[in-house]
Amino acid sequence: MPASPTLPRPLYDIHISPFPEGADAELRYVVEAGTRSFVVTQPVRVLIEALSESSDPVRVRRSLLEETGVAMSDGELVGAIARLPRALFVESEHTQDNGLLFVPMPILKQAWVAWLATRLQHAYDRRFLIAVALLAAVALPLCFQEMAAPRVLTGVSPLASATLLLALAVSALGHELGHAAACARFGVPPGHIGFGLYVIFPVFYADVTRAWRLAPARRVIVDLGGLYFQTILLLLAAPLFLAGFASEAMYLFFFYNAGAMLHNLSPVFKLDGYWLLADLARIPNLHRRTFAYILHLLHIQRLGADQLQPRLNLILLGYGILVAAYFFYLGAYIPGWLSSHVAPGLVDGAGNFSHALERFAAGAWLDAFGSATKGLLVVLAVGLPILLGLLWVARLAISAFRIFTERKQSPFFP
């Protein structure tokens, strides 16, 4: 008789809590393992808890039978474990799923973020919220009216430029602290704050993974927390802007903040607008479930009857159309942008390299080095975003391929 297999144990201290009601009525749970979170059904929760306590297949199968009524052989149990998220058992640089966030770099440790968030959470007191709303209703329209007035930008001094960059960095950091403070307000510990590249855009980010423990209405407040704190910073700067102090630098400060806030509200990428829509609709994994539903409509991948609900399907279809329209727009816009901006930049960079070769042949090595350096900087400035964009498209294609080739789920994992 063959010996029973030794089962793998999760590498992390597992935290499991009920997942607030989603778009479907089935009871689900949030499993937190390290920096990852997963929404699972009750049988999966029982399996993970059993594996956390023992690697003995007899004890694990007994736990499943007692709590779920599911009787499994050793082979079925090993197959069920193979379908669990790999990040529960394997520790690597890919353990944290950062989506389209490249080279994330923590800049504020969790302890520092928690200390700041604890003190900033009072910004969510009802009276403070009402005061901010009233001030924003009065001051921000005046600021935007001032921004809309015709003006000629004559240039910003080096000191004003440095101050503007610092102010924009503080504003971006304040945005992330807004998310962290909302978590602290509801008793959920925030994680670290870092910096990275999202697709091709430099961004700050906050680890608020534990916000999944909260009810959808509270997660909505966490989603809006960054924009709320940015609004507070704009209100603090509004008197200076309206008084004409450093008018060009203040104009650029308001312009970039307004643009960043609108960009963050986009639901296409996993920015604030995406999480806001997902939490309002109560649909976790909105991207993945939308793609799976589109494949179902195209008769490429079948979904179970429990995954086909009128309200849910309508939201997924509408979101899928929105995302498709956005990418069709990009497809129509990018060729013109490449021809009018990128091509001249590459030609300019090639011209600098040609000039560098000529100067090098003439013996003017220092001049040649300067031209080569300028050409390299131009090519990098133009080519690096394109390269990152191609990497992003490749990553999307890989994710789509994984969903397309995913095996049909067993009844144990509905």
Q: What is the pLDDT along the chain (414 residues), one digit of tens a residue?
A: 455 567 777 776 778 888 876 545 567 888 887 667 778 888 888 888 888 888 888 888 888 888 888 788 878 888 888 888 777 776 543 334 455 676 788 899 999 999 999 999 999 999 999 999 999 999 999 988 888 777 666 666 667 777 888 888 899 999 999 999 999 999 999 999 998 877 667 788 999 988 988 988 999 999 999 999 999 999 999 998 888 776 778 888 888 898 889 889 989 888 899 999 999 988 888 888 888 888 878 777 776 665 667 788 888 888 988 888 887 776 666 666 656 655 565 566 566 656 656 666 666 666 656 666 655 665 555 555 566 556 656 656 665 565 555 444 433 333
Any idea what DSSP says for residue 388?
H
Q: What's the half-sphere exposure (Cβ side, CA atoms, 13 Å) at 60?
A: 29
The answer to whether residues 105 and 195 touch, using CB atoms and an 8 Å cutoff, is: yes
* Stated pTM of the model: 0.75
Q: What ranges make up the beta strands (E) of 20-134?
A: 28-33, 36-41, 101-108
- pLDDT given for residue 277 in this prediction: 93
Q: Is 344 exposed, middle or buried (0-12, 13-18, 19+ CB in 10 A)?
A: exposed
> How many C-beta atoms surround the C-beta of residue 155 within 10 A?
7
> How many C-beta atoms surround the C-beta of residue 390 within 10 A?
11
Closest residue by Cα to residue 207 from 233, 187, 183: 183
Q: Which residues contact 229 (CB under 8 A, 6 or more apart)?
A: 120, 123, 174, 175, 177, 178, 181
The neighbouring-strand residues paired with 184 are none
Question: What tokens appear for 297 in the block?
Answer: 């409509």
